Amino acid sequence: MASENPAIRPFDPEAPGLLSFIRNLETPWKLRLYFLQKLPSCWFWGVRIREATPARCQVSIPYSWRTQNPFRSTYFAALAGAAELSTGALALIALHGRGRISMLITGLEGQFTKKAASRTTFTCEQGKIIQEAVQKAVDSGVGQTARVLTIGRNEAGEEVCRFWLTWSFKVKG
């Protein structure tokens, strides 16, 4: 079984390396450097991680000329990118220090309820679901999926959209 692999450790939310990793996610200049190297669209759009814990992540995207569509609202792809990051950061936290485990989005569904014409902040509070899927993948050696919800709200706190993202996790051999 994969759980017998000494390279894969159990998730520890208090691990010093993990706490340092989370601090780096929340440090603006380090995050911008990471985006520039790995996710240039997030860098260009001005996406920011506002809060990251093993259970919850908040990511914001500004409403500006860089994110605006011709209809004077935030472009759906920019919203989807910020939504993905709010769940992806939780996945990175769940995988941190656990060995070689791949992660991939296998599904995306969005629902738009209001025009996004101000800063939109996505909140995902389903880190536990992601951690459980990763643990099942480690224990069974079989790829697992987690479908998680992130909700985008404008500056007035009104819901503008919600995204369901399905992540796949598989232990690399």
What is the residue-level pLDDT of the chain in tens, covering all 173 positions? 444 554 556 677 777 788 888 888 888 899 899 899 999 999 999 999 999 999 999 999 999 999 999 999 999 999 999 999 999 999 999 998 888 899 999 999 999 999 999 999 999 999 999 999 999 998 898 999 999 999 999 999 999 999 999 999 999 87
pTM value? 0.89
C-alpha 144/C-alpha 89 separation (Å) is 18
Q: Report the 3 state secondary structure along the chain.
A: CHHHCCCCCCCCCCCHHHHHHHHHHHCHHHHHHHHHHHCHHHHHHCCEEEEECCCCEEEEECCCCCCECCCCCECHHHHHHHHHHHHHHHHHHHHCCCCCEEEEEEEEEEEECCCCCCCEEEEECCHHHHHHHHHHHHHHCCCEEEEEEEEEECCCCCEEEEEEEEEEEEECC
The pLDDT value given to residue 18:
83
CATH topology of domain 11-171: Thiol Ester Dehydrase; Chain A (3.10.129)
Kindly list the distances between the CA atom of residue 8 and the CA atoms of 131, 140, 172, in Å, as whole numbers in the listed order: 14, 12, 10
